[in-house]
Amino acid sequence: MASKSNGELSERKKLILKAIVDAHIADGEPVGSKYLLQNENFTCSSATIRNEMAELEQMGYLEQPHTSAGRVPSELGYRFYVDSLIESYSMTTNEIAEINKLLKSKLNQLDQLLLAASKLAGKLTNYTSFALKPRASSVSIKRFDVIYIDPHNMLLVMISTNGGIVTKRLTFEEQVSQLTATDLSMAFNDYLTGLTAHEITLPIIIELEKAVGERANLISPIIKIIYESMNEIDEGELKVSGMDKLLQYPEYSDKEQLRELLSSLENKEDILDLVSTPEDDGVNVVIGSESSVKVMNNSAIVYKPIIRDGKTLGAIGIIGPRRMDYAKVVATIEELSENVETILNTNNLINDNTDKNESGGKPDGGG
């Protein structure tokens, strides 16, 4: 995300702001001028540092939680830090070894790979992690198969353009035949392939009914099931790991705020909205109120979309307090996502969107 412009900072102000952010990330306590003089290589006086801190507060980069306390970074301060002051994190030999294990994994499904990568991100950073399959904003079906089972049952198989497979059992009161299944397959493939749910209009449904002749009464209930199936494929998926890790940070000591955040993660819709539309294909850092998720004011989300052939297949990320160790988190997410993309480029992974429970509506149709 781009930094909000709030005036140019002098080099000394940048050094002071960076020192305060680093110190606050480390221990969560307000930072005063005395700490900076004792622990940083500042050659100016304590009075000068206090003046600079006061000006940074006036500019909106710092906040003073108590009258006599030191300062803490504001949301704007964190944003400037992430955009302009953050230093590259050098991963340890053990961390690199852990990440490289992912390359040797035998996982053969994209969902499994994303979940494994996100859990490893949480383990290495000690924050809550997530794996996400984004919403497909324009999902369509590239192939329909209607399979005859018996005189009262058929199976509708739909393969979407994003690789998802959904199967639905169709049950009829009156008898149907193998020829009925064949005719329906041909009609759906002729009229519906490549269309989004919004593009399956009444005139197209009428044409479908004409195409199947005396079986026209089957079309309307099956179309309803097709709509529902396309929405299932489109809804996205969020898997969160290590939510208990939030409890170790004082930012989440307020039980009501924690409950609201956990509820938001469980409901998934807000996070899906946020991560399904990334600002760019690199590592995205969303801090506090920058997020569309209302309960994220004390938190931050760091994530990276996983892209193959220009298509976003998913994302892995971290959720934690606003004062998270951004340098380590960004480096970890970057390294892991590169490994995931390497695996995708060298293996033919399965995009597991299959509805394993063959369920669906029961259209009342003629035989």
pLDDT digits (tens, 9 = 90+) for 290-321: 988 878 888 999 999 988 777 778 899 999 99
pLDDT at 103: 77
Q: What is the CA radius of gyration of the chain?
A: 27
What pLDDT, on a 0 to 100 scale, did the predictor assign at position 94? Answer: 94
Pick from 98-102, 106-110, 229-233 the range whose average pLDDT is largest: 98-102
The residue ranges of every structural domain in the chain are 11-85, 93-134+236-346, 141-234
**Which pLDDT value is given to residue 347?**
67
CATH 3.30.565.10 given to domain 93-134+236-346: no
Average pLDDT, the chain: 86
Query: 332, 123 in Cβ contact below 8 A?
Result: no
141-234 topology per CATH: Enolase-like; domain 1 (3.30.390)
Q: Which is higher by pLDDT, 237 or 239?
A: 239
Q: How confident is the model over 72-99, as a mean pLDDT?
A: 94
pLDDT digits (tens, 9 = 90+) for 16-54: 999 999 999 998 899 999 889 888 878 888 899 999 999
Q: Tell me, what's the pLDDT at 91?
A: 92
Query: What's the pLDDT at 234?
Result: 67
Q: Give the C-alpha separation, 288 to 267, whole Å.
A: 19
Report the relative pairing of strands 128-133 and 311-321 from DSSP bridges: antiparallel
Enter the pTM of the model: 0.72
Least trusted range by pLDDT, from 101-115, 193-207, 251-265: 101-115
Q: What pLDDT band is residue 170 in, cutting at 50, 70 and 90?
A: very high
Among left, alpha and beta (phi > 0; psi -120 to 50; other), residue 2 is beta
Residue 1 is predicted with a pLDDT of 42
In this predicted structure, the answer to whether residue 5 has a pLDDT above a threshold of 50 is no
Query: Could you say which DSSP state residue 88 is in?
Result: P
Query: Would you place residue 136 in the very low, low, confident or very high pLDDT band (cuts 50, 70, 90)?
Result: low
Q: What is the pLDDT of residue 312?
A: 77
The pLDDT of residue 228: 85
CATH for the stretch 11-85: 1.10.10.10
